[in-house]
Structure 1
Amino acid sequence: MTAQRPLLELIGIEKSFGQLQALKTCSLEVQEKETVVLIGPSGSGKSTLLRCVNLLEPPDRGNILFKGKDIGRDLRAAPLIRQEIGMVFQNFELFQHLSAAENIMLAPMKVLGLSRLDAHDIALGLLRKVRIPDKADSYPDELSGGQQQRVAIARALAMKPAVMLYDEPTSALDPEMIREVLDVMAELSAEGMTSIVVTHEMGFAKRAADRIVFMEAGQIVEIANSADFFGGTVNARARQFLDQILH
């Protein structure tokens, strides 16, 4: 029986910013419907790796294969790629002059050519999915941080991506708002949305991740399934980091 090809393959990815080498020969495979959580100390390259996947930062060397096609070479195709690889940022990046529904509707109308009515129906459905159906007509400054981030998630989902990338999506939130965002993300993962998540929320990692990737100094140091990682069979540096973050 032939093994299923990964949905996403990173092969020897390297990225430098001036004299700083942010990524050093990073390789990772992500299967369809898998949730992979990237953890590690600040400055370890987690966000840069995520931005390379979305082609916001083109890699200097290496290959990014998505559905078997090398997407890292033709950056003119980046807008098309981003339709299939959605990304949610630390800061919500919502348009302040648009309502929650209008923020979600914008890309389906502009990029996919949907009518305003069809885009509005999609927006309302996604607001139900992220548990704020009553906020369709609210503007970002009328929403809590957690609600804004859920609108941002709904906006990314509106393009029906094959992969969702989350770059520390709860780091700008007050503690009581973190859970509501993580619950939505965990629910999407449980429904089969392929996800790569940069986070310090170990509770989410335990709950939703299929595999944990530990990074340090621009390198992938450890890749383990969630049970093994939290069960203790990880290398010494990863264990030290985990002990520090859990205590």
Structure 2
Amino acid sequence: MAMNTPTKPTRPLLELIGLDKHYGPFQVLKNCSLNVNSGETVVIIGPSGSGKSTLLRCVNQLEPADGGDLFFEGKRVDFDKRNVHLLRRDIGMVFQNFELFAHLSVIENIMLAPIKVLGMSRADAHDLALELLGKVRIPEKADAYPDEISGGQQQRVAIARALAMKPKVMLYDEPTSALDPEMIREVVDVMADLSAEGMTSLVVTHEMGFARRAADRIVFMEAGEIIENASKTDFFGGAVNPRTRHFLDQILH
């Protein structure tokens, strides 16, 4: 009789274990632990100053953590800045304010990193950029410059630029906070499409419509701590602690 070989447990794609971060005497992250599985979309919410953006910046090593451990694909991340470029090849990040190069066209903004970092030919980078502009629904803006397109379109270019590095994880830091209300949905739709296609995503946002639509789990942070880590069903179904419930009531009403 054949024996069943036990399957080896799969580790999360991204593991944060007890991360701490100080700015001088102020502790902005306090023993933060979080796992993100491959293909999962995790939304982080919380009041201003709760440490949400700092947590993302520690994941992408824009800010070095002062304590704790970070694992990516089961391997401990060395906080040595000499090796940080290797991590950022696999972890894309989209910021609040687009960060596009004003002197480059839309397509050139997207082509730059694949050529400079990945060694891709201009022809291949051009083809990839056109493909990604189609994915973010603005292929007609390829030859425009950032100041010639709307904020929502600029943010979609920023998403396409991050995707051009073929990341395994996408980090979004309040990607709609600088947008006018009518432009928010076009960015949220693109993000939701990527989540539906299986892109692993860690998203700091107050857009509860996106959370309801695309999140697998929702994390609530307050005063540098992770207070809640719940499934979308539990979170919106009310199975959360009173501090989380109070914040949710405030932003929904």
Kept after mapping to 2: 8 A contact 1:9/1:27: yes
Pick from 76, 100, 103 the counterpart of residue 97 of structure 1: 103
User: Residues 229-244 of structure 1: matches in 2 within 5 Å?
Assistant: 229-244=235-250
In the aligned structure 2, how far is the partner of 1:83 from the partner of 1:174?
A: 31
User: Residues 203-214 of structure 1: matches in 2 within 5 Å?
Assistant: 203-214=209-220
In the aligned structure 2, how far is the partner of 1:153 from the partner of 1:216?
A: 28
User: Residues 37-56 of structure 1: matches in 2 within 5 Å?
Assistant: 37-56=43-62
In the aligned structure 2, how far is the partner of 1:55 from the partner of 1:48?
A: 10
Letter in 2 for 1:59: A
In the aligned structure 1, how far is the partner of 2:144 from the partner of 2:72?
A: 36
In the aligned structure 2, how far is the partner of 1:5 from the partner of 1:25?
A: 20
Alpha-carbon offset, residue 3 of structure 1: 2.6
Q: Which residue of 1 aligns with 2:154?
A: 148
Give the secondary-structure state (helix, strand or coil) at the position aligned to 1:82.
helix
1:138 aligns with 2:161: no
Q: Given the superposition, is the C-alpha separation of residues 222 and 197 from structure 1 closer, same or farther in structure 2, using an over 3 Å criterion?
A: same
Alpha-carbon offset, residue 70 of structure 1: 1.2
Give the secondary-structure state (helix, strand or coil) at the position aligned to 2:188.
helix
Alpha-carbon offset, residue 72 of structure 1: 4.0
Q: Which residue of 1 aligns with 2:232?
A: 226
Alpha-carbon offset, residue 242 of structure 1: 0.2
Give the secondary-structure state (helix, strand or coil) at the position aligned to 1:44.
coil
* Number of residues of Structure 1 aligned to a counterpart in Structure 2: 247
In the aligned structure 1, how far is the partner of 2:8 from the partner of 2:242?
A: 35
Alpha-carbon offset, residue 148 of structure 1: 0.2
Alpha-carbon offset, residue 68 of structure 1: 1.0
Kept after mapping to 2: 8 A contact 1:90/1:171: yes
What residue ranges of structure 2 are gaps of 5+ in the alignment? 1-6
Alpha-carbon offset, residue 75 of structure 1: 2.2
Computed over aligned residues only, the root mean square deviation of the Cα atoms, in angstroms, reads 0.7
Dislocated runs of 4+, deviation >3 Å: none
Q: Which residue of 2 aligns with 1:176?
A: 182
In the aligned structure 2, how far is the partner of 1:3 from the partner of 1:233?
A: 28
In the aligned structure 2, how far is the partner of 1:2 from the partner of 1:138?
A: 50
Kept after mapping to 1: 8 A contact 2:43/2:217: yes
Kept after mapping to 1: 8 A contact 2:61/2:79: no
In the aligned structure 2, how far is the partner of 1:194 from the partner of 1:78?
A: 20
In the aligned structure 1, how far is the partner of 2:210 from the partner of 2:78?
A: 30
Pick from 71, 78, 83 the counterpart of residue 77 of structure 2: 71
Pick from 63, 66, 71 the counterpart of residue 60 of structure 1: 66
The alignment-based identity, stated in percent, is 75
Pick from 23, 32, 41 the counterpart of residue 35 of structure 1: 41
Q: Give the TM-score, by structure 1 length.
A: 0.99
Kept after mapping to 2: 8 A contact 1:63/1:72: no
Q: Which residue of 1 aligns with 2:128?
A: 122
Give the secondary-structure state (helix, strand or coil) at the position aligned to 1:195.
strand
